[in-house]
Structure 1
Amino acid sequence: MYYSLIFHRLLKAGMAKVYYFPPPSHASITHVMAKPVTENSKSYNAPCYPVSHIVQHLFGSNCVDMNFNVADDHPVETKTVSFVDVDFSKLETELRDHVIKKEGRPRLCFLEFLGYHDPHRPQSQAMDTDFSNVGSMIECGLFTEALDSIRSAVFPGLLPPMPYLISLLEYAQQGNATSVFLRNLQQVMCNLLVTNPPWLAPSTVKKYYTQVLQCPRCKAGPWSFLETAISYCLSSEATCHPLPGPALPTLLHFHSDLVAFFLRLFQGELHSVTARDFVLPQGPGVSQASASGSLLYGTFWTVWERSTLLSRAVKQLTQLLVQAAVKDYAEKDEKQRLHLADTLLNLLSVLVEFWCQQNFKLNQNLVEKGLKDLAEHFAVVSQDVSPVVLAELVARISSTRLKLVMADAIFRNLCCRNGNTVGDEPLSLKKMVLSYLPALGSLARSPSGARLRTGPPSHSCTSQETGCRTQSSLVNETGPENENLPRGLNRVNAAGETLLHRACKRNQVETVFQILALPGTDINVKDHAGWTPLHEACNHGSTACVEALLRHHPAPVLNNQVGGVSPLHDALLNRHMDIAKMLLEHAGSVLLQQADEDGRTALDLVSTTTQREELLHSAQVGDSALRNKVTKVSNLPLLEAGSSLLAHLISSYQQERALCDHAPPSDRARSLAYRLVRALETHSFQKLTLGWTDQRVVRLVEDADTLLELSRGRYLGQVSQAVKECKGQNTMFLMEMLENLKSLGDALMADL
């Protein structure tokens, strides 16, 4: 009798005598259970049933809701086949719906604004108040008395005359007001926001706030007023008009409170457009289009800038944020710190969430590009800031969407400035594991105290189009000081190939040495198709050039793939075994784990057992060499900063893009995560996503596949020994996060 391991105990419990295949000649066969049923299995003159017959006999029609892995026990080959085949035709649509729903959800919630107005209970209106005496007090210079009169007359539906409030703000800016006056004025502004929130009021109230919240002298709009308040807190002279100086402590706190007031105002507007159960008041003059006519839009974007996140005002805000972060970090006395950087971070988070929510339904690609542009811009303007300060800044970002792109851009910029290039492909979990973790090990080996290389924004390492390819714009071949440069250094042919590409194709190792000796050379520069010089050297059998590239510091990235083809695949596909063994001796067995688009690893590309053994031996030599490398961390502060950025990047990525599907055990078989994992168990990632057009969905499947690979123990070799043994707090936390990712993959596998 054929038997299946999963039902072996059931058959024995039923007093059946089970024979292995082939059965002995003396055996009397009464039933044959086979999967699949073949002509050979029908040749025993006994009824032949599929293995599923046992399940149907035991559970009846309920068996269709169950998942059984039935293993055919064959003396030569064992393979696992799913009992109930799952229909994956709708999987892409369901995953796309999941991605859209997750990206469109609100990120920041401010529950305190729910108490501003109860839509089911009419507001009590104050009686008409005569403010004529307030005007007379201001004309006579009695600002304190005028402010006291206004304080007692702030009610819902009642706004103090605009000119009087502007005069009081102007008097406060001159530096003659007492601390009591400034505190009372701030209280009046806060009470005004509570009793008459512009997001729940007629459009005339929004115009009122727009005119009040601008510089009393220049009257150039809310952004100018806000920028002046921030600049004064930073002791900067870049204000719309001169303010009293040196900065007075009372005025410093007053302007800091003004910035906090703007933040609270914008938080209320964001809340009003994101709280789905929030009922806007009805009535004549009430603006229902609260987003398009909001104060937040009018402050940071002109009408012509609303299709881009990185407007002129937003750029200026990021620069002020960098200055505030440096100032806050340098201020040792906690009592004197204004914590301005935290306020500006929250302000940036609010405006980013507001803009993204307004544009997401219209153009999702526009939102993704806007976020990337903002993060790249911030990475450029903060190049000279200490990595420790930047890591602390990223940790305090409240919006996970903003934290994700900021941590990614800053980490890549940090790696590039220290001579380690990472790819510019879209962010994914696989990219973080295969590219960012090795780059983190390089940061640990960076010289301690070395000055970071910085340059003008036009040559920024964060530019997607140019990467770190600055040599073509920095080197002038015709100059007499460059007469020893290799000829044709700056020429790029129609295929996008640099001189380094061409030299590697022709095995011109002396030219390769000359190019690598130049400062700023990008060893991982790509042509238009994505091929690197290492790819070309491996493809054309340029052994000497491969050796030169591998000896260079920083070493080339060995896991770059173009259409699934890595340098190791390229070498083996072109029968260059010597180069393949050289790559494995340099990087170890981790390269053997890479698969091409057809799921083939390097060992699948060789035809003989001898070649496989040679590759495995070279991989063992590489692993041994890597283990014997010095594990001492040369630059602990840089490693700690990089670990902090990478930890926040992984955490934010999991919150923003992971497939979180916490279904109860009874419904787990129907959950989206379960069905995706089952699909990856029966189909390769490349086959499953073949023909899929939405790259966000493809990355989601790739992330799930990466988790499964982590659970199998793969990819963890990307972490250098120096990082694993580091006792820094941030690095140890990052190692725990990687273990949690592996555990998450284990949990997904356990559900199968």
Structure 2
Amino acid sequence: MLGNKYVFQMSGIKNLHKKRELLQGIKCLHGSYIGGSEYREEMTHLIVIHASASEKFISACAGGKWIVTPEFVLDSVKQNAWLSEALYELNLTANTRTPSMTNPLQKWREKVARGVVSGAFQGWTVCLHIEDPDRRSMFERILKAGKAVIDPDNPAVTHVFTKDGKKIPLNHLSHKPHHTLSYIAHHLFGSAYSSLNWCINLDKPNQQINSIKLEPTEDCSPKIEDKSMDAQDNFLLFGLEEKFKDYIVKMELRKRKLLKVPELFSYYTPVFPTQVSTVDFSNVRSLVECGLFSQALEEVESSLQPGVFPPASILHACMQHALQGEAEPYFLSIFTTTLNSILRNNPSWGSPESVKYFLQILQCPQCKNGAWPLLQTSVRFCLAGTATCHSLPGPASPELLHFHGNLQAFFLRVFQLELHAAGSRRGGSRSSVLYSMFWNVWEKSTLSSRALQQLAELLVEAALWGLHSTQERKMKLLATLQELLAVVVKYWAQEHSQLNSRLVDKGFQDLAEYIAILCQDLHPDILRELVPALPCLRLRMRTADAIYRNICSRNGLLIRPEPLTLLKIVSSYLKALGQLCGCKPVHTSTHRTERSISTSPDSQVSNIGERERVGDSGSGKENIPRGFHRVNAAGETLLHRACKRNQVETVLHILSLPGTDANVKDHAGWTPLHEACNHGSSECVAALLQHCPGLQLDSQVKGVSPLHDALLNQHSDIAKMLLRHAGSSLLRLRDDYGRSPLDLVSSSALRTELQRCAQEADSALEVQCSEVRDLEFIETCSCLLSCLLLSYLLEHHIPSYEPPEPPLDLAPSTAQALVSVSPGTVASHWRDRGAVSLAEDLRTVMSMEQYVLQVNPALMLCQGPHTSVFMQLLKDLQREGSALLSGQSEL
């Protein structure tokens, strides 16, 4: 392609039929085509319909390229030879009042062709101060196309570009000419600029600029050669987007069908009479007053019919009798049966009256704090915890424990039926017991409500309590909590996915991060049982990801927070696993696990759930530092304030408390690490680096990272500490002015010293151990990655180990075309985000060989079952990728 004098790009052509016709013409005349939204230097001709404020149009003008209309290709095809471009060159002055004015496109092209200039911006040395990194990168490419030099540190800077043309606070630039970005267009197009009638201003972000997707990079992964896409490849990929979209839609429908329980649902769907008869429950009240609870419930059972609600006071009295621990087994059994009968006759979904009724009867009759506190108390009673809404009788009898299990199962059944009803569009889905229990009016836009966080805490606590247990009661409780969490998060996701998929993604991510904090001190055995057992596929994937990232951070491996992709799993995460072979797990605290395991099977001490609310009394209250729960007007926690004052003992005390989030942000977004670096609290920085799980060293506020903060305030000792911990990845961070941390250092000696510190850390991180030093630790990491990989493949419908229904049917020629182009090219041509993601993941599958070859040999030789399974999964994925390319895949 390098020798081809006809290398095309297109801009502004949205009509797919027109584009397909042009691609066929280019192929017919043996030209080449480069896709993507970014300008490419090797391009010789840009095809446009009219002038536009796109990167490719402005860059092509600055680079002196031919800018022609589509007719150049179409007419050339008719003549079966390339015609002269001059007749088809776009003329910006054709419709102006002064047609004799020189066409600026022709002027710059001829100047470059004659060698007068190498580009429209020759001789410019530029400093770009643009906050948005995507826009900054785009304008860098435009300026480089015109042969400008981007060097903000060069004293000989000739042009400084800012958002509003105002001077920036850097001494060596203050006397330089400052311009807005529109200056670029004025320079290129001159007096023709005013007649272009562009609907946008270069000084403001526009839709096209905002839609540019930068090709994702992984510092630790090998790069696939980015070949330009010829016309044949582009033609093959045109129909692939629709095929992928159709495949994803069918797979999503199939997944939703698997969630439905039509037989069970029809059992709980009564036929309401045209007129509901009135039932007299006065006899039942008399029986309750006489303490004849079983007979009262038998009367209620015989009177139930659709539309009839027994008085709530009767059920409150029965619930009170059941919870006191003195009820007979027959009463407990018939009470559970009565609750199910009421639900069968008066289902809660789609009926505000039924929802209100169930919320009224499903609460502790003594405390009356709502349905969630009753469920929470029931679970805690089974866990032998003390953090219940009020004191309950003990020791618990087997019959009472069995009743609580049935009560929890009833809640689960209500939730499952409401989830099914919402998915079937039966009634108003928001009118439900589930939604009312877990989200109040201020929490509906977030998945991680306080009640849901407490449910997650109960699940982790139950996993500790039931570790290695074979007791049916313990296993049943753990399974019920797993199903409860799954149903609740699926319900919320179903409510919001159609309206705001990004909100749903963030909700799952936030909840997974919260669960990861709860799990930070858990024994590896518990992690290996807890995470794979999460029934919700999406939550399992996100939780495994969050916990693994925390493990990497605790062992000095900094992983950039890019979106989760298959490429990230098989490159960044896989390489990190090889580096972890030489590490031992870092535990900030072990007391919680040891205490939970050492207690007797039937008298487990509640740890997580008894993490006291503000104002609670208890033996652990004196261990909480004063002001721990107070947040000031700026949103600063006690950890923020202690880091600002370098109170290292307070910091260590806070970090020792279970569930402490070291990455908590104030209202402006600053973390405790930011504050410590800003105020020179070196001892606090050292404490955070040593003791904090998952400390985010790359957190940025308006581009300012903790390293930026340290260097801006002349705290070089802290800067060295950060670099020795995380390496050169911190030096690649840029603030909103485009400055890297080294740009803030004026001393060349200090720059060299900082680079040396970063290189020391890089060298230490790059060393891969030749053997696994801590098998249990690596087994846990491998289990998490296996769980993450399998969940990702299933969640994103990537054909892998079982033939999907419907099959994907990817032809070898299409598969090879998909591998030959860059992800950025596909993203720029396709509009469907799901199809783009599937294409990028399939591209990774077909390139698996290079990632498997880089696996640490110690992992391949490891005999641990979880590590062996993970290695086999990678090999199977590699085999499937090769089969896709050769056309031998059965998927």
Equivalent in 436, 440, 446 of residue 302 of structure 1:
440
Find the residue that maps to 2:358 and give its secondary structure: helix
The answer to whether residue 324 in structure 2 is matched with residue 174 in structure 1 is yes
The answer to whether residue 533 in structure 2 is matched with residue 392 in structure 1 is no
Find the residue that maps to 2:850 and give its secondary structure: coil
The answer to whether residue 432 in structure 2 is matched with residue 313 in structure 1 is no
- Measure the CA separation in 2 of the matches of 1:344 and 1:663: 30
Deviation per CA, 1:158-194: give whole Å up to 9, x if none: 4433221221011111122123322222222233333
The answer to whether residue 730 in structure 2 is matched with residue 730 in structure 1 is no
Equivalent in 851, 856, 872 of residue 720 of structure 1:
856
Deviation per CA, 1:85-122: give whole Å up to 9, x if none: 73544655664565577568636333442441578x88
CA contact (8 A) 1:113 1:271 kept: no
Equivalent in 194, 198, 201 of residue 348 of structure 2:
198
Spell out the pairing of 1:528-543 with structure 2 (5 A cutoff): 528=734
Deviation at 1:261, TM superposition (A): 1.0
The answer to whether residue 842 in structure 2 is matched with residue 704 in structure 1 is yes
Which residue matches 1:408? 545
- Measure the CA separation in 2 of the matches of 1:265 and 1:407: 29
The answer to whether residue 826 in structure 2 is matched with residue 688 in structure 1 is yes
Find the residue that maps to 1:730 and give its secondary structure: helix
Q: What's the % identity of the aligned pairs?
A: 35
Give, as a single letter, the amino acid of the residue that structure 1 aligns with 2:379.
Answer: I
The answer to whether residue 277 in structure 2 is matched with residue 139 in structure 1 is no
Which residue matches 2:338? 188
Deviation per CA, 1:186-238: give whole Å up to 9, x if none: 222233333443237x5433322221112212222211222221222222222
Equivalent in 774, 777, 784 of residue 645 of structure 1:
784
Find the residue that maps to 1:337 and give its secondary structure: helix
Deviation per CA, 1:300-327: give whole Å up to 9, x if none: 1112321211112112212222212211
Equivalent in 465, 474, 493 of residue 356 of structure 1:
493
Deviation at 1:749, TM superposition (A): 0.6
Greater mean deviation of Cα atoms: 98-107 or 203-212: 98-107
Find the residue that maps to 2:235 and give its secondary structure: coil
Deviation at 1:376, TM superposition (A): 1.1
Deviation per CA, 1:103-155: give whole Å up to 9, x if none: 68636333442441578x88899987653322111111222332333344445
Spell out the pairing of 1:557-572 with structure 2 (5 A cutoff): none
- Measure the CA separation in 1 of the matches of 2:682 and 2:495: 56
Which residue matches 1:751? 887
Which residue matches 1:552? 761
- Measure the CA separation in 2 of the matches of 1:652 and 1:535: 42
Find the residue that maps to 1:86 and give its secondary structure: helix
The answer to whether residue 372 in structure 2 is matched with residue 223 in structure 1 is yes
Which residue matches 2:793? 654
Which residue matches 1:380? 517
Give, as a single letter, the amino acid of the residue that structure 2 aligns with 1:446.
Answer: C
Structure number with higher relative contact order (C-alpha < 8 Å, ≥ 6 residues apart) = 2
Deviation at 1:269, TM superposition (A): 0.6
CA contact (8 A) 2:578 2:855 kept: yes
- Measure the CA separation in 2 of the matches of 1:440 and 1:490: 21
Greater mean deviation of Cα atoms: 222-231 or 358-367: 222-231
- Measure the CA separation in 2 of the matches of 1:375 and 1:84: 40
Give, as a single letter, the amino acid of the residue that structure 2 aligns with 1:496.
Answer: V
- Measure the CA separation in 2 of the matches of 1:84 and 1:480: 56
- Measure the CA separation in 1 of the matches of 2:699 and 2:499: 42
CA contact (8 A) 1:397 1:403 kept: yes
- Measure the CA separation in 2 of the matches of 1:478 and 1:80: 52
From the superposition, tell whether residues 415 and 388 of structure 1 become closer, same or farther in structure 2 (CA, over 3 Å): farther
- Measure the CA separation in 2 of the matches of 1:490 and 1:656: 28
Aligned length: 582
Which residue matches 2:103? none
Structure 1, unpaired ranges of 5+: 1-34, 39-78, 281-287, 557-585, 588-625
Which residue matches 1:630? 770
Give, as a single letter, the amino acid of the residue that structure 1 aligns with 2:562.
Answer: E
CA contact (8 A) 1:360 1:367 kept: yes
Equivalent in 360, 384, 387 of residue 238 of structure 1:
387
Find the residue that maps to 2:448 and give its secondary structure: coil
Give, as a single letter, the amino acid of the residue that structure 2 aligns with 1:403.
Answer: R
Superposed CA RMSD in Å reads: 4.8
Which residue matches 2:167? none
From the superposition, tell whether residues 663 and 733 of structure 1 become closer, same or farther in structure 2 (CA, over 3 Å): closer
Deviation at 1:363, TM superposition (A): 1.0
Give, as a single letter, the amino acid of the residue that structure 2 aligns with 1:706.
Answer: T
Spell out the pairing of 1:307-346 with structure 2 (5 A cutoff): 307-329=445-467, 332=469, 334-335=471-472, 337=474, 339-346=476-483
Which residue matches 2:107? none
- Measure the CA separation in 2 of the matches of 1:335 and 1:693: 51
Greater mean deviation of Cα atoms: 90-99 or 696-705: 90-99
CA contact (8 A) 1:707 1:742 kept: yes
From the superposition, tell whether residues 642 and 673 of structure 1 become closer, same or farther in structure 2 (CA, over 3 Å): farther
From the superposition, tell whether residues 161 and 452 of structure 1 become closer, same or farther in structure 2 (CA, over 3 Å): closer
Equivalent in 113, 116, 123 of residue 264 of structure 2:
113
Which residue matches 1:293? 431
CA contact (8 A) 1:138 1:146 kept: yes
- Measure the CA separation in 1 of the matches of 2:568 and 2:699: 31
Give, as a single letter, the amino acid of the residue that structure 2 aligns with 1:250.
Answer: E
The answer to whether residue 310 in structure 2 is matched with residue 160 in structure 1 is yes
CA contact (8 A) 2:685 2:718 kept: no
Give, as a single letter, the amino acid of the residue that structure 2 aligns with 1:653.
Answer: Y
From the superposition, tell whether residues 167 and 118 of structure 1 become closer, same or farther in structure 2 (CA, over 3 Å): closer
From the superposition, tell whether residues 698 and 532 of structure 1 become closer, same or farther in structure 2 (CA, over 3 Å): farther
Give, as a single letter, the amino acid of the residue that structure 2 aligns with 1:137.
Answer: L
Which residue matches 1:446? 583
Deviation at 1:471, TM superposition (A): 4.4
Structure 2, unpaired ranges of 5+: 1-26, 31-227, 591-654, 688-696
CA contact (8 A) 1:321 1:345 kept: yes
CA contact (8 A) 1:419 1:554 kept: no
From the superposition, tell whether residues 306 and 516 of structure 1 become closer, same or farther in structure 2 (CA, over 3 Å): closer
- Measure the CA separation in 1 of the matches of 2:268 and 2:274: 11
Give, as a single letter, the amino acid of the residue that structure 1 aligns with 2:511.
Answer: L
Deviation per CA, 1:517-561: give whole Å up to 9, x if none: 6xx667643623699889999xx99888666545438845xxxxx
- Measure the CA separation in 1 of the matches of 2:355 and 2:718: 67
Greater mean deviation of Cα atoms: 350-359 or 135-144: 135-144
- Measure the CA separation in 2 of the matches of 1:410 and 1:319: 15
Give, as a single letter, the amino acid of the residue that structure 2 aligns with 1:347.
Answer: L
TM-score normalised according to structure 2 size: 0.56
Which residue matches 1:527? 733
CA contact (8 A) 2:552 2:576 kept: yes
From the superposition, tell whether residues 644 and 515 of structure 1 become closer, same or farther in structure 2 (CA, over 3 Å): closer
Find the residue that maps to 2:704 and give its secondary structure: coil
Deviation at 1:36, TM superposition (A): 8.8
- Measure the CA separation in 2 of the matches of 1:658 and 1:638: 30
Greater mean deviation of Cα atoms: 524-533 or 107-116: 524-533
- Measure the CA separation in 2 of the matches of 1:349 and 1:516: 41
- Measure the CA separation in 1 of the matches of 2:545 and 2:260: 24
CA contact (8 A) 2:355 2:433 kept: yes
- Measure the CA separation in 1 of the matches of 2:875 and 2:698: 45
From the superposition, tell whether residues 81 and 226 of structure 1 become closer, same or farther in structure 2 (CA, over 3 Å): closer
